[in-house]
Structure 1
Amino acid sequence: MKFELNLNFYSKVKPLGVIWGKFSEFYSKKNTIMFDDIGRNFLMNPQNGLKIRPFMKAHLNRDKDKELLKLTQYLKEIAKLDDFLDLNHKYWERYLSKKQGQ
């Protein structure tokens, strides 16, 4: 899907409303999160987006990159919630640190 920002710029976005409309019995803005390393992909649903660090130089960083492992822990923590809307996913690492420290 393309979203017009101005007369000269188009950006591909990930419109979660399509999923929420087709599968409303399972998914809503209260229980959906998406990851991407490009923030503008969250343009239509910024509250549901979590911007991750890009995975670069895989041949050098394969053993060092732990971002997805940490995100797994974050997902396990927020899965306990009925509503994600009060979360600021920008600070997911801080949230996870607090929860793991309890």
Structure 2
Amino acid sequence: MSSGGIIADCHEFLVTAAWPLARVKHWNTFNAARALENQCFLISCNCVGETQGEILGGHSQIVDPWGRVQATLDASESILTAEIDLSQIERVREDFPQLKHRVMGV
């Protein structure tokens, strides 16, 4: 493990959710923030349809380590695919080495 802790060894996160359509803008913001703060690819999968009277938002995404959306879906049932360049993670972490300054377990 490097000085960045467990996150330094991570390349991608998979997030699954049943996030409501009424707050899909927050979903998009959180996806970008998690990818950027962890300097990883974030692959998010959000349910669509209705559950317990709540309309679910969809908008599954693949977000790069800079927090930029590389691929996204709307609120329909679909499959999202994209090619990702894992070498981008190393370049981002060299340009912006914020993970080296994290203190784990404080």
Whether the TM-score (by the shorter chain) exceeds 0.5 is no
Please give the TM-score of this superposition, normalised by the length of structure 1. 0.28
Please give the TM-score of this superposition, normalised by the length of structure 2. 0.27
**Which is strand-richer, 1 or 2?**
2
Structure with greater contact order relative to length (CA < 8 Å, sep ≥ 6):
2
**Which is helix-richer, 1 or 2?**
1
